[in-house]
Amino acid sequence: MDFINTILGTPLGFVIYFAYQILGSYGLAIVAFAIIVKIPLFPVMMLAHRNSIRLLQLQPALYLIKQRFAGDKEGINEAQYELFAKEKYSPLLGIVPLVVQLFLVMGILQVMYHPLQHMLRLPADTIDQLVDGVGGFAPQLQVLESIYGELRFLGLNLTATPSIRYPSIELIVPLVSGLAAFIFCMVQNAISPGALSQSKRTNTGLTIFTVCLSLYFAFALPVGVGLYWTVGNLAAIAVVLLLNFMYPPKKLAKDALVHIRATSKTKQEILEDKRIKRALRERESADVLRFKTAKKQVVFYAISSGQYKFYKTIIDYLLKHSDIAVHYLTNDPNDAVFDIQHVQLFPYYAGQQKTISLMLKLQTDIMVTTVPDLQNFHMKRSIVRDDIEYIHTFHGPTSTHLVYREKAFDHFSTLFCVGPHQVTEIRRRESIANLPKKKLVKIGYGLYDQLVDSYKNQRGRRNEKPRLLIAPSWQADNILDVCINDILESLSGNKYDVVVRPHPQYIRLFPGRINTLKEQFANDSITFELDFLGNESIFASDILITDWSNIGYEFAYCTLKPCIFINTPMKVMNPNYTKYALEPLDITLRDKVGVSVDVENL
DSSP of 387-433: --EEEEE-SSS--TTTSS-TTTTTT-SEEEESSHHHHHHHHHHHHHH
* Residues pairing with 566 in the sheet: 597
Rounded CA gap, 539 and 561, in Å?
A: 10
* Nearest-5° Cα angle at 80, 78 to 86: 105
Dihedral pair phi/psi, residue 416, rounded to 5°: -90, 105
Residues 6+ apart with CB under 8 A from 223: 156, 157, 158, 159, 160, 161, 162, 170, 173
Q: In 148-167, which positions are buried (b, 16+ CB within 10 angstroms) versus exposed (e)?
A: eeebebeebbbbbbbeeeee
Q: In the predicted model, what is the mean pLDDT of residues 50-72?
A: 80
Give the pLDDT score at 51: 86
- Compute the chain's Rg from CA coordinates: 33
Residue 114 has pLDDT above 90, yes or no: no
Report the relative pairing of strands 152-153 and 156-157 from DSSP bridges: antiparallel
Residue 533 has pLDDT above 70, yes or no: no
Q: In the predicted model, what is the mean pLDDT of residues 350-375?
A: 95
Q: In the predicted model, what is the mean pLDDT of residues 169-183?
A: 89
When mean pLDDT is compared over 128-137, 165-174, 253-262, 274-283, the highest value belongs to 274-283
CB 88 within 8 A of CB 49: no
Give the pLDDT score at 71: 60
Q: In the predicted model, what is the mean pLDDT of residues 53-66?
A: 84
Rounded CA gap, 195 and 186, in Å?
A: 10
What are the C-alpha distances in Å from 355 to residues 159, 209, 306, 415?
Answer: 55, 33, 18, 22
Q: How confident is the model at residue 454 (pLDDT cuts 50, 70, 90)?
A: confident
Residue 365 has pLDDT above 90, yes or no: yes
Rounded CA gap, 456 and 3, in Å?
A: 82
Dihedral pair phi/psi, residue 326, rounded to 5°: -100, 115
* Residues pairing with 157 in the sheet: 152
Residue 350, judged by CB atoms within 10 A of its CB (0-12, 13-18, 19+), counts as buried
* Residues pairing with 439 in the sheet: 414
Q: What pTM was estimated for this model as a whole?
A: 0.70
Helix (H) / strand (E) element for 261: namely helix 254-263
Residue 265 has pLDDT above 60, yes or no: yes
Rounded CA gap, 589 and 596, in Å?
A: 10
Q: Of 571, 563, 549, 566, which is closest to residue 601 (Cα–Cα)?
A: 566
Residue 270, judged by CB atoms within 10 A of its CB (0-12, 13-18, 19+), counts as middle
To the nearest whole percent, how much of the chain has pLDDT over 70?
94
Q: Provide the 10 A C-beta neighbour count for residue 490.
A: 9
Encode pLDDT of 501-514 as tens digits: 998 778 877 887 88
Q: In the predicted model, what is the mean pLDDT of residues 331-341?
A: 93
Residue 137 has pLDDT above 60, yes or no: no
Give the pLDDT score at 388: 97
Q: Of 213, 204, 199, 198, which is closest to residue 186 (Cα–Cα)?
A: 204
How many angstroms separate the first and last alpha carbons of the chain? Answer: 71
332 or 26: which leads in pLDDT: 332
When mean pLDDT is compared over 104-118, 261-275, 333-347, the highest value belongs to 333-347
Encode pLDDT of 414-451 as tens digits: 999 999 999 999 999 999 999 999 999 999 999 888 88
Torsion, Cα of 351, 356, 362, 364 (10° steps): 60
Give the pLDDT score at 9: 72
What are the C-alpha distances in Å from 574 to residues 422, 474, 571?
Answer: 15, 19, 9
546 or 252: which leads in pLDDT: 546
Rounded CA gap, 138 and 136, in Å?
A: 6
Q: In 295-329, which positions are buried (b, 16+ CB within 10 angstroms) versus exposed (e)?
A: ebebbbbbbbbebbebbbbbbeebbeeeeebbbbb
Rounded CA gap, 142 and 140, in Å?
A: 5
Give the pLDDT score at 512: 79
Q: How confident is the model at residue 76 (pLDDT cuts 50, 70, 90)?
A: confident
Q: In the predicted model, what is the mean pLDDT of residues 564-570?
A: 94
Helix (H) / strand (E) element for 301: namely strand 298-302
Q: How confident is the model at residue 147 (pLDDT cuts 50, 70, 90)?
A: low
Among 267-271, 468-472, 569-573, whose mean pLDDT is lowest?
267-271
To the nearest whole percent, how much of the chain has pLDDT over 90?
38
Give the pLDDT score at 417: 97
Give the pLDDT score at 72: 65
Give me the chain's average pLDDT, please.
86
